[in-house]
Structure 1
Amino acid sequence: MSNIILLAVCFGAGIFLQRTGRFPVATPAALNGFIIHISLPALTLLHIHRLHLDSTIIFTAAMAWCLFGAGFLLFRVVGRLAGLTSGTTGALMLVGGLGNTSFVGLPMIEAYYGKEFLGVGIIADQLGSFLVLSTLGIAIATIYSSGDVSPRQMVRKVLLFPPFQALVIAFLLIPVPFPDWLAIILQKLGDTLTPLALASVGFQLRLGHIRGELKPLGLGLLYKLVIGPALLTLLFAGIMGGSGKVMQVTLFEAAMAPMITAGIIAVDHDLNPPLVTLMIGIGIPLSFLTLPAWWWLLQGV
């Protein structure tokens, strides 16, 4: 419960600081820069190091990749048919295709399924959502923000993305024990991500933009909160026959609100920032209504 309250407080703080003019207009850029270069790499090094890899996590790790892939195809087709700008299409792919599997997902798993299933959420986040964002996500952001990008430039962008570099280092260091002091430092640096990210989103939120972004906003949230998890449930449980509590938690993670860090990357690449902030700012509280419905529906899986 405290994590959910923290989300609301930090989001509200961002709105308050923007409304009062106490922070400069460039505040989100500074906050996002700290998140990308410090907070995310620290969390990556810490949580990847703690992962225990085995064959039972295939469905859980694959969930975000499938969700992102289906969203990519949907938004690409709709974007062309509807004549959406490249920035809007790219924003929908990133923020509509990736879920908040950690900062919203982990507290929700604990609330609905218990602490013993938090490991499933960490795998879904680190080997799923975060790994997708660090590879395909940054590639999509580069393509849709820059237009004509060579494969070499795209690969270079991914390789120089600080969280991706941290991801590679983290996998290499899995066999190496971390001293207690290092784990504590990484945890404290990683803990800055949620308050800074939510404050940044709140600072940029302009509800007056809803009218101009209503159609892509509705499409993005409809896919992320309803269509996407429904497709994954059909694929994993219906077609592939997956079942049990781990499968339920995996599909529950698929139904989470849009990913905050994906929004940070989208804004950093100037992919329709007003739409991005609306999707996160509206999607997170809206998910508090849709998630109980998904929890009830998934009881039969």
Structure 2
Amino acid sequence: MANILLLCICFVLGILFRKSKRFPENTSQVLNSFILHVSLPALVLHHIHEIQFSKETLLPALMPWMIFTVAGIFLYALFRFKKLERKTAICLLLTAGLGNTSFVGIPLLETFLGKESIGYAIISDQLGTFLVLSFPGLIFATVADGKEWQIKTLFQRVFTFAPVFALLLAVLSRPFSYPTWFIVVLQRLGDTLSPLALVSVGFLLNLRTMKGHRLHLVLGLGLKLIVLPVITILVYRNFNTERLMYETIVLESAMAPMVTSTIIAIDRNIVPHLAGLMLGIGIPLSFITTYFFLNLMKAGIL
């Protein structure tokens, strides 16, 4: 619970910093740049290098790919029928289509299901959510401005993005052991991601902007916190999986929008106020919705 309390404190601090007017207007952009070029690459270099691959990693790892695909198809249909603008659809895809499977997900799972669930959560986060963000997610973020990109240019933008470069480096370095001092440095730098991200989102969050985004916010949060978890239940209950794995997968699918994908949407000006609202409102709301799904599973209803 200490991690969740830390997130709440950092989020509130961001709001207070903005209201105090003692911080420059571009504070959020500066924090986002540090996160994307330092904090996140450090986290990737550490976790991807250490993670163990096996057959058991398949089902938790596939869940984020599935919900991103389902969300993408649904939002693309709304875009094609001119119900959503391109940037709005991509903003919702980056927030509703990707879950906070680590920074909020792991503390909640430890509280709800115990430490035994954390292994499945890390697999879902590192082999699922993060890889989805690194490749299809980042590609959508790159083309959000509506310009036509050549494949060569698009891949250059993706593979020169610091977290993706760190991902490739972590995979290539797996045969070698990191020195202890390097692991400590990566851990310390990686630990800055979640607090700084919540400060950034809190600084950007302005509930006065909700009026212009109310319908999109309801659509995005309804999709992320209710519809996609229900779809996950319908799919995964057909597999003969360990009960703890099943419950972990379902709860991970029901988590709030991903911090990093929200930061990317904000950093690239993809409807930033909507992205901030999705995360700022989605995190506290997800505490309620995940608890609801947990009780339905414990009661044997799901």
TM over 0.5: yes
Matched, 1:188 2:188: yes
Question: Could you say what the CA RMSD is over the residues aligned between the two structures, in angstroms?
Answer: 1.2
Q: Give the drift of 1:82.
A: 4.7
Matches within 5 A, 1:134-283: 134-238=134-238, 240-283=239-282
Counterpart in 1 of 2:19? Answer: 19
Counterpart in 1 of 2:285? Answer: 286
Q: Give the drift of 1:242.
A: 4.0
**Structure 2: any 5+ residue segments left out of the alignment?**
none
CA deviation vs aligned residue, 1:274-298 (integer Å, no higher than 9, x gap):
1000000000000111111111223
Q: Give the drift of 1:161.
A: 1.1
Matched, 1:131 2:136: no
Q: Give the drift of 1:51.
A: 0.8
Q: Give the drift of 1:150.
A: 2.2
Q: Distance in 2 between matches of 1:276 and 1:102?
A: 18
Counterpart in 1 of 2:54? Answer: 54
**Could you state the TM-score of these two structures normalised by the residue count of structure 2?**
0.96
Asked if the contact 2:86–2:146 (Cα under 8 Å) also holds between the matched residues in 1, the reply is no
Matched, 1:298 2:300: no
Q: Give the drift of 1:155.
A: 1.4
**Could you state the TM-score of these two structures normalised by the residue count of structure 1?**
0.97
> Which 4+ runs in 1 deviate beyond 3 A?
240-243
**Equivalent position amino acid for 2:254 in 1:** A
**Equivalent position amino acid for 1:61 in 2:** A
**Equivalent position amino acid for 1:219 in 2:** L
Q: Distance in 1 between matches of 2:70 and 2:145?
A: 21
Asked if the contact 1:145–1:270 (Cα under 8 Å) also holds between the matched residues in 2, the reply is no
Asked if the contact 1:110–1:117 (Cα under 8 Å) also holds between the matched residues in 2, the reply is yes
Asked if the contact 1:64–1:128 (Cα under 8 Å) also holds between the matched residues in 2, the reply is yes
**Equivalent position amino acid for 2:90 in 1:** G
Matches within 5 A, 1:68-147: 68-147=68-147
SS in structure 1 of the partner of residue 143 of structure 2: helix
Structure 1 range deviating more: 212-221 or 109-118 = 109-118
Q: Give the drift of 1:153.
A: 2.0
Asked if the contact 1:145–1:269 (Cα under 8 Å) also holds between the matched residues in 2, the reply is no
Q: Give the drift of 1:147.
A: 2.8
CA deviation vs aligned residue, 1:107-165 (integer Å, no higher than 9, x gap):
01110111122111111111111111011111001112243222222211111111011
Asked if the contact 1:87–1:270 (Cα under 8 Å) also holds between the matched residues in 2, the reply is no
Asked if the contact 1:99–1:129 (Cα under 8 Å) also holds between the matched residues in 2, the reply is yes
Q: Distance in 2 between matches of 1:171 and 1:268?
A: 27
SS in structure 2 of the partner of residue 144 of structure 1: coil
Q: Distance in 2 between matches of 1:3 and 1:16?
A: 20
Q: Distance in 1 between matches of 2:147 and 2:76?
A: 14
Asked if the contact 1:91–1:276 (Cα under 8 Å) also holds between the matched residues in 2, the reply is yes
Q: Distance in 1 between matches of 2:242 and 2:120?
A: 14
Q: Distance in 1 between matches of 2:228 and 2:6?
A: 27
Matched, 1:43 2:43: yes
**Structure 1: any 5+ residue segments left out of the alignment?**
none
Q: Distance in 2 between matches of 1:195 and 1:117?
A: 23
Q: Distance in 2 between matches of 1:208 and 1:96?
A: 21
Q: Distance in 1 between matches of 2:94 and 2:152?
A: 21
CA deviation vs aligned residue, 1:230-281 (integer Å, no higher than 9, x gap):
111111213x454521121011101000001000111112110010000000
Q: Distance in 2 between matches of 1:213 and 1:81?
A: 19
Asked if the contact 1:64–1:129 (Cα under 8 Å) also holds between the matched residues in 2, the reply is yes
Q: Distance in 2 between matches of 1:265 and 1:134?
A: 11
CA deviation vs aligned residue, 1:39-71 (integer Å, no higher than 9, x gap):
001000111122111001111000100010000
Q: Percent of counterpart pairs with the same letter?
A: 42
Aligned length: 300
